[in-house]
Structure 1
Amino acid sequence: MPGAIGGVLDGYLRHRVARASAADGAFAADVALRVADFTRSGGKRTRGQFLWWAMRACGRGDGPVDAALATAAALELLQTCALVQDDVMDGSATRRGRRALHLDVAARYAPAVGERGAADLGAVAGVLAGDLALAWADDLAAAAQAGLPARVGTRLREVWSDLRTELVAGQYADVHGQVTRSRSPGRALRIARLKSAMYSVERPVHLGAVLAGAGPEEVAGLRRAGRCAGVAFQLRDDLDGVFGDPARTGKPCGEDVRAGKPTYLVAVAHARAAGRGDRVSSDVLERCLGDPDLDDGALAEVREVLVRTGARAAVQSRVERLSARGAEHLERARPTGPGAGRLADLLRAAAGLPPAGSCGAGSCDAGSYDAGSYDGGGTE
């Protein structure tokens, strides 16, 4: 599937870059070509795989293959939009192990125009690159929908429209929580669902089910399964952002802490420290979160607090429970198509768990749930 989606992207992006070059050479080199290169380097094409295998899980035949691949490719461009603009808003230095797009543009012009002018131009290029990726995604999705039966095309457009709105809402909620220093675990879960879970898992699964012509009950069950897996994915990503290896994650460790991101991991630590009257832990969090110059020693203090308060263990447990609940929802939806097993494995993989049946006795035990881990309500 990654190769098939990449093939659609290659042809489409060559055409769009050529059109951009005809409009303006500098724009094509600085923005359009970088959007194309960033999208081509997207890796596993996970969103497209969720779409494809959901369609195969719901359908009895192959389904509308061309429309599915084009919509999957459009999801990759939507991901490009989200990531490059997120890097500008967060001031991120790297993405996927390389220099962030806006900083790459700035580095090109710094010798000629100076650091300040280059930084301003880079930020503008990052925002416009996101806009261009979104426009290309919409055009590709619209072309995919045009060849479908009217009822399916209409449903697909509605889901695509909701997906885009949720993505923007999630990005705003994330920045809003960061600026207002939100510490609510429930709010943090909602941000995780909007910013990542919806467009990374739930909506791609939804799109695939619509392409297969699935009924309302089956669609609802698959969406619930995707929602659980998507939130688990984001919570695991939050853990990786503090405890992960940059060589594996492709981004510097501790960025979320330095930016003061309103993650569920941090919200649980705050709530637990406050509930226990643990002033030492609370003081570390207040002092360190949102400090862009935080050094490795202070980051180690934050990690210690996240472990000592039990926040890390609680989030790990929640990830496992969400994955289990997602499997239950998938079972109740009863998809009987040939892709049902592959879809189940993808949902488990989103939470960082191995495929079903690959664990030794007891090795995949999700563990007991601590009632103090602050349910956000409605996620499961």
Structure 2
Amino acid sequence: MTSSRVRKEVDEALYAFVDRQRPVLLAITEDLSPMLGALDALLSGGKRLRPAFCYWGWRAAGGADGPEILAAAASLELLQASALIHDDVMDGSDTRRGLPSVHRRFEAMHRTEGWPGGAEAFGTGAAILLGDLVLSWCGEMFDTSGLSQDVLAAGRPIYDVMRSEVMCGQYLDMLEQARGTGNVESALRVVKYKSAKYTIERPLHLGAAMAGASQTDLDALSAYGLPLGAAFQLRDDVLGVFGDPAETGKPAGDDLREGKRTVLIALAHQHGSEAQREILNRRLGDPELDLEGVEELRAILTETGALEGCESLIEDFASQAYKALGEAPITDEARAALTDLTVAATARRV
């Protein structure tokens, strides 16, 4: 099973599930068609990392290939869609994956139709409801994947805690932005719960647990998944500031406008001068930040060594992941596939 085939079959399972839901919604009213259109647009992009890690967690523990595990794994993409929709509302993001974010899409629809009332409030409300709908669908897709009830029951506690952890991680992220006094330790705590566990460790655990993995096996996967998840998020943080919009799907410096208190920002605060910290505090989170302001903040992140320090952390976390993967008691096929995923998650450059 190649990575491209995993993605292809995950996509097929995902789109088939949404297509089964389509007539259910449209039987209520055709007015729900824009909800489906917004979801279709969002699901057309994405790296499908969480389903891939779930699938290879299953194979790592000796689970057999089959459409049922791919359908169960694909349900994680609906959980991700829900998280992204809500995340964009909270951050006030205009774009996602190179397209208008869901709340902006509905806001534009309101304005185009010339309806009375506030377009922004309508967009926000519609996005929250779509995110909630998709969150409910992820559990339904998991439960109807075709795996036996015993297998599903083995994974359900992990699925449940995964959903709790990502919501808590999102709150911690908001808390750091609100406080505005984050340090490296607190920023790494957000990384752990908002991304590392949710993106890699828990999907691996989910697949492996359903295949009958022992706690020792799960611990070995944690030793690989947590540092890799941290490296993945730190790479995303770097790209959120220095990345090419054509690659990231977001405007240049969007994370700076949103005021994200990332490890990158925490390192700059830690090593910057009083004058540099003053500029960071004043300009970070300014929704009107222009390209000149973005370049000023980028310069500070470079001059303080924050960018270099973040790259060093990425290398350290990736090294830990590679070492743990080499020692993990998993199948050779899974080890090779997870090695490829490690490269994909950490090797992206600005």
Residue aligning to 1:285: 280
Residue aligning to 2:250: 251
Tell me the distance in 2 between the aligned counterparts of 1:253 and 1:244: 7
1:94-173 → structure 2 map (5 Å cutoff):
94-113=95-114, 117-144=118-145, 147-148=147-148, 150=150, 152-173=151-172
**Superposed displacement of residue 66, structure 1:** 3.2
User: Contact 1:51 / 1:72 at 8 angstroms: preserved in 2?
Assistant: yes
Render the CA deviation track for 1:29-62: whole Å, top value 9, x for unaligned: 12233224422x0343221111112222221x62
Using the size of structure 1 for normalisation, the TM-score is 0.86
Residue aligning to 2:57: 54
Residue 31 in 1 paired to residue 30 in 2?
no
User: Contact 1:241 / 1:253 at 8 angstroms: preserved in 2?
Assistant: yes
Residue aligning to 1:208: 207
SS of 1:339's partner is helix
One-letter amino acid of the counterpart of residue 12, structure 1: F
Tell me the distance in 2 between the aligned counterparts of 1:46 and 1:187: 25
Tell me the distance in 2 between the aligned counterparts of 1:7 and 1:83: 21
**Superposed displacement of residue 185, structure 1:** 0.9
Query: Which has the higher mean CA deviation after the structures are superposed, 193-202 or 264-273?
Result: 193-202
Residue 340 in 1 paired to residue 335 in 2?
yes
User: Contact 2:106 / 2:122 at 8 angstroms: preserved in 1?
Assistant: yes
Residue aligning to 2:83: 82
Tell me the distance in 2 between the aligned counterparts of 1:353 and 1:241: 12
One-letter amino acid of the counterpart of residue 25, structure 1: E
2:312 is aligned, of 317, 337, 343, to 317
Tell me the distance in 2 between the aligned counterparts of 1:10 and 1:257: 34
SS of 2:118's partner is helix
Residue 327 in 1 paired to residue 322 in 2?
yes
SS of 1:47's partner is helix
Tell me the distance in 2 between the aligned counterparts of 1:111 and 1:209: 48
One-letter amino acid of the counterpart of residue 255, structure 2: D
Residue aligning to 1:232: 231
Using the size of structure 2 for normalisation, the TM-score is 0.93
Give the direction of change, closer, same or farther, for the CA distance of 1:125–1:98 in structure 2 (3 Å limit): same
User: Contact 1:259 / 1:289 at 8 angstroms: preserved in 2?
Assistant: yes
Unaligned runs of 5+ in 1: 355-380
User: Contact 2:242 / 2:252 at 8 angstroms: preserved in 1?
Assistant: yes
Tell me the distance in 2 between the aligned counterparts of 1:141 and 1:154: 11
Unaligned runs of 5+ in 2: 1-5
Tell me the distance in 1 between the aligned counterparts of 2:113 and 2:45: 31
Residue aligning to 2:9: 4
Render the CA deviation track for 1:281-340: whole Å, top value 9, x for unaligned: 112111111111111112111111111111100000100110010111222222134222
Give the direction of change, closer, same or farther, for the CA distance of 1:89–1:221 in structure 2 (3 Å limit): same
Tell me the distance in 1 between the aligned counterparts of 2:136 and 2:143: 11
SS of 2:213's partner is coil
Tell me the distance in 1 between the aligned counterparts of 2:21 and 2:197: 28
User: Contact 1:92 / 1:100 at 8 angstroms: preserved in 2?
Assistant: yes
One-letter amino acid of the counterpart of residue 52, structure 1: Y
**Superposed displacement of residue 104, structure 1:** 1.1
Tell me the distance in 2 between the aligned counterparts of 1:140 and 1:108: 29
Alpha carbon RMSD of aligned pairs, Å?
Answer: 1.8
User: Contact 1:54 / 1:340 at 8 angstroms: preserved in 2?
Assistant: no
**Superposed displacement of residue 158, structure 1:** 0.3
* Percent of matched pairs sharing the same residue: 38
User: Contact 1:56 / 1:337 at 8 angstroms: preserved in 2?
Assistant: no
Moved over 3 A (4+): 111-116
Tell me the distance in 2 between the aligned counterparts of 1:114 and 1:19: 27
Residue aligning to 1:307: 302
